[in-house]
């Protein structure tokens, strides 16, 4: 149904207000990040770049940023490769218990976050992984796998298997079919899976709060700690930077290609 029907004015206004409430509030961090005072007073009484300087010089913030970036990249690579392999096997292969395996791999996405976080904390205490980079890496990778699995499986399902069969019929080895045909044609799904994987790791708070140590902290954990312990506006600078970067990452590709979001 693509027919345009008339929408009454009260409903239009309501939707406009909803849209404003969805997007508006977060942009308050941008003016606040230029404050000259050591408080969250809004609107700021004076202006400065102090908190941007602090964000890029204070080791507590720079270490956290660096940890998050490093971890995000590692998790993206691991989760994309592992998730894509699993997606190909689950969509193309025939095996018993496919539904059970798919369900098990999707589960991290479906359970309440706090339960996952506490379970991981208790288990990783026993395995000696709390406060370690390996612990973060394992937990974030497991969490990111479903976010790779969903788009890759979706794009594999729309892909015509006859193309693969044709390549195999013309003498391509299974590995070559997988690399030259399947992976190439599923590339959009794999790419969006990779983006989701990075976002999942970079944004994860609850599990990371439990896995952190004073020496190893991700950016969201540093933000959480900061807002619970003091009113240092550096968090506003951090939020403003993250918001700007993500907004650009989402909007620019769409503006450049002039492509409308597929519905």
Partner 1 sequence: MHMQLDHQLTKPPTAGPVRRLGTAVRVYTGVSPALIAVGLAFLYPTALLVWLSFTDPQPGLGNYTALFSDSLAMTVIARTLRMAGTVTIVTALLAYAYAYVMTAVGTRMRAVMLVLVLMPFWTSLMARTFAWVVLLQERGPIDDLFSLTPIGSVELLGTTTGVTIAMTQVMMPFFVLPLFASLRGIDRRLIDAALGMGARPIVAFFKVYLPLSLPGILAGAAMVFTLSLGFYVTPELLGTPRESMVARLMASKVDPLLQFGAAGALAVVVLLITLALLGVILAVLKVRGGVETTGGSK
> Pick from 49, 123, 163, 248: which binds partner 1 (CB under 8 A)?
123
Q: What's the min distance (Å) between Cβ of 160 and partner 1?
A: 8
Please say whether the beta carbons of 174 and 108 come within 8 A: no
> Pick from 29, 64, 65, 177: which binds partner 1 (CB under 8 A)?
29
Binding of partner 1 by 256 (CB under 8 A): no
Binding of partner 1 by 162 (CB under 8 A): yes
Q: What's the min distance (Å) between Cβ of 57 and partner 1?
A: 20
> Pick from 36, 41, 173, 230: which binds partner 1 (CB under 8 A)?
41
Judged by CB under 8 A, which stretch of 45-53, 54-62, 159-167, 185-193 contacts partner 1?
159-167
> Pick from 112, 171, 214, 258: which binds partner 1 (CB under 8 A)?
112
Please say whether the beta carbons of 71 and 137 come within 8 A: yes
Binding of partner 1 by 38 (CB under 8 A): no
Q: What's the min distance (Å) between Cβ of 262 and partner 1?
A: 9
Judged by CB under 8 A, which stretch of 51-59, 133-141, 186-194 contacts partner 1?
133-141
Q: What is the DSSP letter of 42?
A: S
For residue 35, list its beta bridge partners.
47
Q: What's the min distance (Å) between Cβ of 107 and partner 1?
A: 6
* Contacts of partner 1 in 194-233 (CB under 8 A): 199, 202-203, 205-206, 210, 219-220, 223-224, 227-228
Please say whether the beta carbons of 197 and 146 come within 8 A: no
Please say whether the beta carbons of 201 and 76 come within 8 A: yes
> Pick from 45, 47, 66, 161: which binds partner 1 (CB under 8 A)?
161
Binding of partner 1 by 238 (CB under 8 A): yes
> Pick from 34, 61, 124, 198: which binds partner 1 (CB under 8 A)?
124
Judged by CB under 8 A, which stretch of 24-32, 49-57, 58-66, 185-193 contacts partner 1?
24-32
Binding of partner 1 by 100 (CB under 8 A): no
Closest among 94, 92, 71 to 143, alpha carbons compared: 71
Binding of partner 1 by 65 (CB under 8 A): no
CB-based contacts of 54-57 (< 8 A; 24+ apart in sequence): 54/232, 54/234, 54/237, 55/234, 55/237, 55/238, 55/241
Distance of alpha carbon 184 from alpha carbon 25, whole angstroms: 40
φ/ψ of 216, rounded to 5, equals -130, 105
Please say whether the beta carbons of 56 and 234 come within 8 A: no
> Pick from 101, 172, 185, 191: which binds partner 1 (CB under 8 A)?
101
Distance of alpha carbon 206 from alpha carbon 117, whole angstroms: 6
Distance of alpha carbon 46 from alpha carbon 123, whole angstroms: 48
Residue 94 three-state SS? coil
């Amino acid at each position: 149904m693509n027919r345009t029907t008339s929408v009454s004015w009260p409903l239009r206004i309501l939707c406009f207000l909803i849209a404003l409430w969805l997007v508006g509030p977060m942009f308050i961090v941008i003016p606040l990040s230029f404050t000259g005072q050591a408080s969250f007073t809004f609107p700021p009484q004076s202006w400065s770049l102090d908190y941007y300087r602090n964000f890029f010089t204070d080791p507590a913030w720079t270490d956290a940023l660096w940890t998050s970036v490093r971890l995000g990249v590692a998790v993206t690579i691991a989760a994309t490769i592992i998730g894509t392999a699993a997606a190909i096997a689950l969509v193309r292969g025939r095996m018993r218990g496919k539904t059970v395996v798919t369900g098990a791999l999707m589960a991290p996405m479906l359970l309440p976050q706090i339960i996952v976080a506490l379970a991981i904390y208790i288990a990783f205490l026993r395995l000696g992984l709390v406060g370690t980079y390996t612990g973060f890496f394992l937990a974030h990778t497991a969490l990111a796998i479903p976010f790779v699995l969903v788009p890759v499986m979706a794009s594999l399902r729309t892909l015509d298997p006859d193309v693969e069969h044709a390549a195999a019929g013309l003498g391509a080895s299974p590995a070559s079919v997988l690399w030259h045909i399947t992976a190439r044609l599923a590339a959009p799904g794999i790419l969006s899976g990779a983006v989701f994987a990075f976002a999942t790791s970079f944004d994860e708070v609850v599990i990371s709060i439990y896995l952190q140590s004073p020496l190893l902290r991700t950016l969201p954990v540093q933000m959480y700690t900061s807002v619970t312990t003091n009113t240092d506006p550096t968090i506003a600078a951090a939020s403003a930077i993250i918001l700007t970067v993500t907004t650009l990452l989402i909007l620019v590709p769409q503006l450049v290609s002039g492509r409308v979001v597929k519905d």
